[in-house]
Amino acid sequence: MSIETYTVYPSNKHNRPSPPSRVILHGLDRIGTSIQIRNHRFFHAPKDATLTLDHLVKQLTSSLAEALELYPPVAGAIESDEKGSIYSLMGPEHNAGTPFLVEKKSTAYQGDTEDMGPRQDVILPETASILAVKVTQVTETQTI
């Protein structure tokens, strides 16, 4: 199955003032390396047949855009300078967008096959997006 990829940017729904473009972080903010943390949520499909996956994706991307506006650090980036100071970069000039992936699988859900905790084996580059979202629709096909 193919994966559709979207890029979600903060909305302007609340007309909030621009955040500072650069905020220095405390050393405790970066103890250890950047790691990937997976957070799974499972939901049953809506019983209302008019709520298609496309409609749900539109709602989710809209909600994510609003959340990114209300919490600018998640939409920004992390950077360190030659002195070792670490900064959170925020605002439109530092927002590369949040990846939002949608996948459809025609297999039955068999249970979680991945460890739900932080993945120590995946070290993210400093330029990686702070947040990424993936929605997977799992449809069970039955044979008689």
pLDDT of residue 114: 56
User: What domain range includes position 67?
Assistant: 3-138
Tokens, residue 68: 């990114």
102 falls within a domain:
yes
Among residues 88, 79, 101, the alpha carbon closest in space to that of 8 is found at 101
Q: Which domain CATH number covers 77?
A: 3.30.559.10
Q: How many angstroms separate the CA atoms of 71 and 55, rounded? A: 25
Counted domains in the chain: 1
pLDDT of residue 116: 47
42 falls within a domain:
yes
143 falls within a domain:
no
If you ran DSSP here, which 8-state letter would residue 127 be given? T
Residues of the chain scoring pLDDT < 70: 1, 30, 32-36, 108-126, 140-144
30 falls within a domain:
yes
144 falls within a domain:
no
